[in-house]
Each structure stands twice: as structure tokens, then as C-alpha cells.
Amino acid sequence: MERQVVVIAGPSGSGKNAVIDALLERSKKCSLLVNVTTRPSREGEKEGVDYYFFPIDDFKRGIKTGSILEYRFVPSLGTYYGTYKPDLESRIAKGDVVLAHKDIIGARYLKEHYDAVTIFLLPESIESLERRIRARNPGMSPAELAERMKMVKREVEEEAPQYDYRVVNADGKLEETISDVMAILKKEGYNLE
């Protein structure tokens, strides 16, 4: 049976969204897993496209009934995020290669239960990642940047080694990164044609 689920992860600013967007554009077989969250939708976000937006009681009920497969709570945001089983199962049933943007908890779950290959995108250096984060959020306070960089360091040092593959996304080398990820998927038995 061919593999259908792949996790693409990485710290903020690592280029994971750019890589996922490129895979979606280049392969009609790929689709993006839509996660579920308890945060309110932001302007321009669409239900079932960006997220499934659940009230907290519905989210907790989903955990109990099994429609939310794995989840995490982000205390600083007071928000839950999780994997919504109906979305995942419908994409698998259609024969899609499902791209999942997940942290280490989601990556472990999808690897164990859906034979997912897990890929972690790394910056060429922590300094280059800090430059990207500053460029994306010019108004970020020094305290917020320090907190973000502490999280990045933990992800790179403690979590990245737990993924099947680590791919460096160097500044100005996005095309090479996309090619590397596509080569991994082909080697691992994903049908992107």
C-alpha cells in the first residue's frame, strides 16, 4: 500500500509554508490537512480551509469521541490545536498525499498511526532564522524575539533529531529545498504523479 501522509515541520520562519505551497502547486495528488482549533477565526480565514474553528466544549467532546486524534494546548494563547479525523480520513479516502503541518506531538502520532514520513526543515543557521523572523515581524519586542528564539533553539536541538529527515532550507535556496523534499517523498513511496 502506498504511503499517503507526510508531516512537514520546522520552527517559525523555516519556510515550511513555502515548501507546502510549492508541493500543493506541483502535485495535484497533494492536499493540505486542515487542523482544528479553539481560537476565533481571523479576518479572511475560512472554516474548513484555514482551520475548523471549534468552541472549547466541542473540541473537548471531539477528544472524547475520537474525532480529534491528537492535540496540544498552548497556554500562552489559551488555545487548543488538533488533528481532525474526518478531514484526514476523507483526504486519505480520495487517494490524496496528505501534507500535515505538525509539531512533534502530531508528527509522532501520524507516524505511528498513519505511517507518515516526517520531515523537519532547518535554517542554515540560527542567525539566519532570526533575520527571517525579524523581517516578518518588524514590530516584535526584544522580549518576544528572545522567547521565540528560545523556542526555536529547543525545536532544533531537541525535536529535529526525532524526525525521519532533516532538510536545510538555506536563504535563497528554496527551489533546492523543494527538490530535496520531493526526492524524499518519491524515495519513500509517495505517488506525486
Task: Give a yes or no: residue 74 inside a domain.
Answer: yes
Q: What is the pLDDT averaged over residues 155-178?
A: 93
- pLDDT category, 123, cuts 50, 70, 90? confident
Instruction: Please give the order of strands across the beta sheet that includes 97-100.
Output: 30-32, 97-100, 5-9, 117-122, 165-168
Looking at this protein, which amino acid is placed at residue 65? T
Q: What is the pLDDT averaged over residues 21-26?
A: 96
CATH assignment of the domain containing 53: 3.30.63.10
Q: Are residues 111 and 169 located together in one domain of the fold?
A: yes
Q: Are residues 87 and 9 located together in one domain of the fold?
A: no
What value does the mean pLDDT of the chain take?
A: 93
Q: Are residues 102 and 9 located together in one domain of the fold?
A: yes
Q: Are residues 43 and 104 located together in one domain of the fold?
A: no
Q: Are residues 119 and 166 located together in one domain of the fold?
A: yes
Q: What is the DSSP letter of 53?
A: E
pLDDT at 1: 60
pLDDT at 146: 84
Q: Are residues 82 and 166 located together in one domain of the fold?
A: no
Residue 37, Cβ density class (10 Å: 0-12 exposed, 13-18 middle, ≥19 buried):
buried
Rounded Cα distance, 5 and 112, in Å = 11
Q: Are residues 101 and 89 located together in one domain of the fold?
A: no
- 56 close to 80: Cβ distance less than 8 angstroms: yes
- Span 11-23, pLDDT tens digits: 888 899 999 999 9
Q: Are residues 168 and 101 located together in one domain of the fold?
A: yes
- pLDDT category, 184, cuts 50, 70, 90? very high
Q: What is the pLDDT averaged over residues 33-60?
A: 95
- Span 96-115, pLDDT tens digits: 999 999 999 999 999 999 99
CATH assignment of the domain containing 101: 3.40.50.300
| H or E segment and range at residue 86 | helix 85-93
Please give the residue range of the domain that contains residue 154: 1-29+97-188
pLDDT at 164: 97
Q: Rounded to an integer, what is the distance from CA 160 to the centroid of its chain?
A: 13
Task: Give a yes or no: residue 193 inside a domain.
Answer: no
Q: Are residues 23 and 116 located together in one domain of the fold?
A: yes
State how many domains the chain has: 2
Q: Of the residues 94, 110, 141, which one is the last residue of a structural domain? A: 94
- Span 124-134, pLDDT tens digits: 888 888 888 88
Q: Of the residues 94, 110, 145, which one is the last residue of a structural domain? A: 94
